[in-house]
Amino acid sequence: MQPHSRSRQVERLLAAFKDARRPAILLHDNPDPDAIGSGLGLAKLLQARLQLCAPLVHGGVVSRAENRSLVEELHIDLCSAARFDWSAADAVALLDCQAASGNHSLPPGLIPVVVLDHHPLAGEVHADTLADIRPDYGATCTILTEYLEDAQVHVDERLATALFYGIKTDTQDLGRQASGIDALAYLRLFVAADKRALARIQNPRLPRAYFRAVHDALERVEIYGEAAVARLGDMVMPEATGETADLIVRLEGMRWSLAIGRYLDRLLFSLRTTEVETDAGAVAHQLVAQELVGRHGRAGGHWRLAGGAIDTSAMAPAAISAIEDRLISAFLTIVEAPAAGASLMAFSAEPAPVP
Ligand SMILES: [Mn+2]
């Protein structure tokens, strides 16, 4: 984009809040560092240019230890969407997700004035919403970094740390889904970031329950040719599917991983692939589409990572179990994996050959 059109883009964003007195920034449910960092970025922009104070609101929980550590280390205030007074909010921005993507707690009928996201277009955008959706970007934090720069708003150490960590985690240090623009933002933010805080955020102390969950997850991994599948059952934290899928796709010889588990009234799944040319998001959409007759659910993601959720409220455990069976077998068919698997932990380790 040309410099003048970029500064015009900032003015368009600010114009969406010009009559606002009580704006709010809604992050997606169970917000990750990219949602939290970009939320902090937008709050700073609104505060610096319009003297508006916009709270960060989200549904679900922040339970992944690194994400909790980010919130605590940088003293970030987050409000629960369930307790938030939506009737007082007069301008809501939606970050790192879209109205049609379903993974947020926007009250029905409330139209966001702004949507900033880097996921592929998920459906119709309301005519009254200013949508800046850039699927070629690796992180929403990169979009906010550009806005702050174009608006000539100073990015202090705390904000640089949050934005950097958002780009770092969403792109796996630029190794996944990153563009040259992400790389530029990542490098410049790193210079300004608090490196000691970053070190503490990335290596938080972990509760004993975490190790128990990892142990249980690994015992549930089945290998089907080049696909690893973990059926996690009831989970204590919603991020467990993503963490497990990330871990098991790294097993030697794997091209795909799927982790599936239950959290509250939802069946959650995460998909990963090592295939550069494959669109994991398309696979996730296919999986959810097959299960959606008469039910609520969603799928999202692109390139090498994706996920989805299916509403299982009021369903008997046996019916949920049957959905899991069908999702797994549909997944194995789509990725052309054999239908019979073997437990990851059941193999007997061969002694390493003596050189
Ligand atoms: Mn993101």
What pLDDT does residue 281 have? 81
Q: At what angle do helices 33-50 and 140-150 cross, to 10 degrees?
A: 20
Provide the token pair at 353.
């050959």
CA 300–ligand 1 middle distance (angstroms):
11
CA 350–ligand 1 middle distance (angstroms):
41
Domain limit, last residue, from 155, 178, 202? 202
What pLDDT does residue 271 have? 94
Q: CA angle, 342 as apex, 340 and 343 as ends, to 5°?
A: 145
111 or 6: which leads in pLDDT: 111
CA 10–ligand 1 middle distance (angstroms):
20
pLDDT (mean) for 74-78: 98
Q: What is the pLDDT of residues 310-335, one digit of tens each?
A: 999 989 999 999 999 999 999 999 99
CA 181–ligand 1 middle distance (angstroms):
15
What pLDDT does residue 222 have? 97
CA 339–ligand 1 middle distance (angstroms):
33
309 or 298: which leads in pLDDT: 309
pTM: 0.89
CA 340–ligand 1 middle distance (angstroms):
35
Note whether 143 and 187 are same-domain residues. yes
Asked if the structure places residue 26 within a domain, the reply is yes
Contact indicator for 121, 101 with CB cutoff of 8 Å: no
Asked if the structure places residue 354 within a domain, the reply is no
Note whether 267 and 161 are same-domain residues. no
CA 287–ligand 1 middle distance (angstroms):
22
CA 190–ligand 1 middle distance (angstroms):
18
What pLDDT does residue 348 have? 65
Note whether 287 and 149 are same-domain residues. no
What pLDDT does residue 279 have? 81
CA 137–ligand 1 middle distance (angstroms):
9
Provide the token pair at 217.
């997850």
Q: Which residue matches tokens 């000539």?
A: 152
* pLDDT for 48 beyond 90: yes
CA 67–ligand 1 middle distance (angstroms):
14
What pLDDT does residue 292 have? 61
Asked if the structure places residue 321 within a domain, the reply is yes
What pLDDT does residue 286 have? 85
CA 138–ligand 1 middle distance (angstroms):
7
Structural domain of residue 273, as residue ranges?
A: 209-344
Beta pairing partners, 26: 57, 94
Q: What is the pLDDT of residues 143-178, one digit of tens each?
A: 999 999 999 999 999 999 999 999 999 998 998 778
pLDDT (mean) for 10-31: 96
What's the CATH code of the domain at 74? 3.90.1640.10
Note whether 19 and 139 are same-domain residues. yes
Write down the H helix ranges in the chain.
3-15, 33-50, 65-73, 140-150, 157-170, 180-192, 195-202, 208-219, 240-248, 280-291, 317-334
Write down the H helix ranges in 222-316.
240-248, 280-291
CA 107–ligand 1 middle distance (angstroms):
21
| Chain Cα centroid distance, residue 284 | 14
Contact indicator for 96, 143 with CB cutoff of 8 Å: no
* Mean pLDDT taken over the chain: 92
CA 272–ligand 1 middle distance (angstroms):
15
* pLDDT for 294 beyond 60: no
What's the CATH code of the domain at 218? 3.10.310.40
Note whether 50 and 187 are same-domain residues. yes
CA 140–ligand 1 middle distance (angstroms):
5
What is the pLDDT confidence band of residue 1, given thresholds at 50, 70 and 90?
Answer: low
CA 301–ligand 1 middle distance (angstroms):
9
CA 353–ligand 1 middle distance (angstroms):
44
Note whether 78 and 107 are same-domain residues. yes
Note whether 257 and 306 are same-domain residues. yes
Asked if the structure places residue 355 within a domain, the reply is no
Note whether 153 and 239 are same-domain residues. no
* pLDDT for 349 beyond 70: no
CA 32–ligand 1 middle distance (angstroms):
8
pLDDT (mean) for 18-28: 96
CA 69–ligand 1 middle distance (angstroms):
18
Domain limit, last residue, from 137, 167, 202? 202
Contact indicator for 288, 310 with CB cutoff of 8 Å: yes
Q: What is the share, in percent, of the chain residues with pLDDT greater than 70?
A: 94
Note whether 264 and 136 are same-domain residues. no
CA 97–ligand 1 middle distance (angstroms):
8
Q: What is the pLDDT of residues 227-248, one digit of tens each?
A: 999 999 999 889 999 999 999 9
* pLDDT for 293 beyond 70: no
195 or 4: which leads in pLDDT: 195
